[in-house]
Amino acid sequence: KVSSVAKLSAVETAITTATNHKQRQRPSGAKPAVNFVVVGHVDAGKSTLMGHMLYLLGCVNKKTVMKYKQEAQKMGKSSFYYAWILDETDEERTRGVTMDIARACFETENRKYHILDAPGHRDFIPNMITGASQSDAALLVICATRGEFESGFDLGGQTREHALLIRALGVSHIVVAVNKMDTIDWGKDRFDEIDAILRTFLVRQAGFTKTTFVPVSGISGENLVQPLPASHPCRKWYNGPTLIEALEQLPAAERPENMPLRIVVNDVLKSTANVLGLSAKVEAGHIEFGDKVFLMPRADLATVKGVCIDDHTGAAPPTMASKSEVCFAGDQILITLAGNFENEAITAGNVICRGGLDCLVPCKRFTVRIVVFDVPIPVIRGTKAELFAHSLCAPCTVKMLKCTLDKATGEVLKEKPRCLPKNSTALVVLETDTPVNLEAYSKCKPLGRISLRANGITIAAGIIDTAHTEVNAAL
Ligand code: GDP
């Protein structure tokens, strides 16, 4: 009791203490960044396709690729060598508990892309959620080979689950790479068949607003970066974009640089009673040396002693920010804070914000719009689950089923349902055991996307409609 009163007053202090900061603009000329997550059934060819694309874009040198080719041949896995490129660039994956996904970057003339390659296995769904909840768009890789698309799409396959999950997390644009076209001789009929089945599902059932289908071969590299030659069999019936062109057509995400500061802590690199070295991601706003900030949910006051973009490529991240620069929404950073900290209390899922009106108020109760997955038992009032959001994981309880909704139109279908069967969309009230750093999706997307897991499976995912703050009422 005592500690909860103390915590409340610390948050109250943060809400009533405006922390000054300079208004900053990201230097012009910086290319807009696009984050996209690569999803699809296992063996659809995700890693091969991305590895090959990175190679064609000049992100990996020929020598490295040749080395992989030889090593792969020695191991009798010669077809896998492009996939290893992504593995090579994924040293960051060892960074903290949440990051078990391969990351890579590439640039075009117009944009900077950050790829998150989510493993396709069922066990990796939590990692995929981490990837999806940081993404502006998704690349869904489908295997065109007869029988394989079907097994990935039908019951038990991950294609549906991945698509529903990323849509539920607010991603509305999807590019579909219809891969392994070489195995079906670039046949139009097969491409059209997949397009018809999948597009209906993606638009009608999952609710994506924009879909682009591109025929490709990850292994040969055809139609990834260079347009197909006029003599190519696919050119008889396909005049659409290459894969990279389809990605270039995705709208660049807004970067909420002038929104209230939100920095999500991904990992604690160094922790003493008065200095913290953190690896973190700026989700909104901007930050620089000397800024006074609060660390939520405990509302510890801290001063920024160093902050820089985290661009290291070594295996182990440095423990402290090596220099100071202004960092903006979208940046992955290293940040050093000075203050009075209770070491164990600072973990992944903490959020750095400013005080006063810009403060993030930790809450326990949320109204959430969720999509229920293919669950064995319907979700009812009292269902207990683990709530995942940004780098946070917290136990929670479903407190109320408000109504079920039509997936496509959002219309109310039924008020106060007794249970939520699989594949339903609904508004529910969730309560966490302790206050957590989440807020409405309309205020800050990355802090408003959640998923729920119980007994080792993902039961639902969605976005926060309202965060119910008790502190405001108390003030
Ligand atoms: P992931 O599990 O989705 O990442 O799939 P991988 O990239 O590991 O590929 C799975 C298998 O499919 C490997 O044997 C690849 O060589 C093969 N593969 C990937 N892309 C293609 C393609 O375009 N054509 C053919 N024929 N095989 C491919």
Q: What is the pLDDT of residues 247-285, one digit of tens each?
A: 999 887 776 788 999 999 988 888 888 999 998 989 999
Secondary structure class of 105 (helix, strand, coil): strand
What are the structure tokens assigned to 309, written together? 């973009």
The answer to whether 152 touches 159, Cβ cutoff 8 Å, is yes
Gap between the Cα atoms of 113 and 104, Å rounded:
8
Start-to-end CA span in the chain (Å): 19
CA of 288 to the centre of ligand 1 (A): 44
CA of 108 to the centre of ligand 1 (A): 25
Residue with tokens 């969730």: 430
The answer to whether 350 touches 425, Cβ cutoff 8 Å, is no
The amino acid at residue 143 is: C
- Those residues with Cβ within 8 angstroms of residue 3's Cβ, 6 or more apart along the chain or in another chain: none
**Is ligand 1 within 6 A of the CB of residue 179?**
yes
What are the structure tokens assigned to 474, written together? 């108390």
Gap between the Cα atoms of 157 and 40, Å rounded:
9
Question: Nearest C-alpha to atom 10 of ligand 1 is from which residue?
Answer: 43
Q: Which residue of 41, 42, 43, 176 sits with most ligand 1 atoms within 8 Å of its CB, as the best mutation to test the pocket?
A: 43
- pLDDT tens-digit series, residues 392-445: 889 999 999 999 998 767 789 999 999 999 888 999 999 999 999 999 998 998
Gap between the Cα atoms of 63 and 61, Å rounded:
5
Output the pLDDT for position 294. 96
Q: Of the given ranges (378-382, 448-452, 471-475), which has the lowest mean pLDDT?
A: 471-475
Decide if pLDDT at 98 tops 60. no
**Is ligand 1 within 6 A of the CB of residue 203?**
no
Closest by alpha carbon to 135, among 101, 160, 108?
Answer: 101
Is residue 135 very low, low, confident or very high in pLDDT (cuts 50, 70, 90)?
confident
Computed over every residue of the chain, the mean pLDDT equals 84
Is residue 36 very low, low, confident or very high in pLDDT (cuts 50, 70, 90)?
confident
Q: Of the given ranges (184-188, 239-243, 300-304, 409-413), which has the lowest mean pLDDT?
A: 409-413
Gap between the Cα atoms of 268 and 145, Å rounded:
45
DSSP string, 57-97: TTSS-HHHHHHHHHHHHHTT-GGGHHHHHHHHTTGGGGSTT
**Is ligand 1 within 6 A of the CB of residue 258?**
no
- The neighbour count for residue 64, using CB atoms within 10 Å, is 13
CA of 224 to the centre of ligand 1 (A): 14
Decide if pLDDT at 91 tops 50. no
**237 — phi, psi (to 5°)?**
-130, -5
**Is ligand 1 within 6 A of the CB of residue 126?**
no
Is residue 162 very low, low, confident or very high in pLDDT (cuts 50, 70, 90)?
confident
Secondary structure class of 277 (helix, strand, coil): strand
Residue-level length of the chain:
475
Q: Is the dihedral of CA 359, 364, 368, 374 positive or negative?
A: positive
Gap between the Cα atoms of 217 and 204, Å rounded:
28
**Percentage above 90 pLDDT, the chain:** 44
Q: Which residue of 73, 79, 116, 141 sits with most ligand 1 atoms within 8 Å of its CB, as the best mutation to test the pocket?
A: 79
| Chain Cα centroid distance, residue 455 | 22
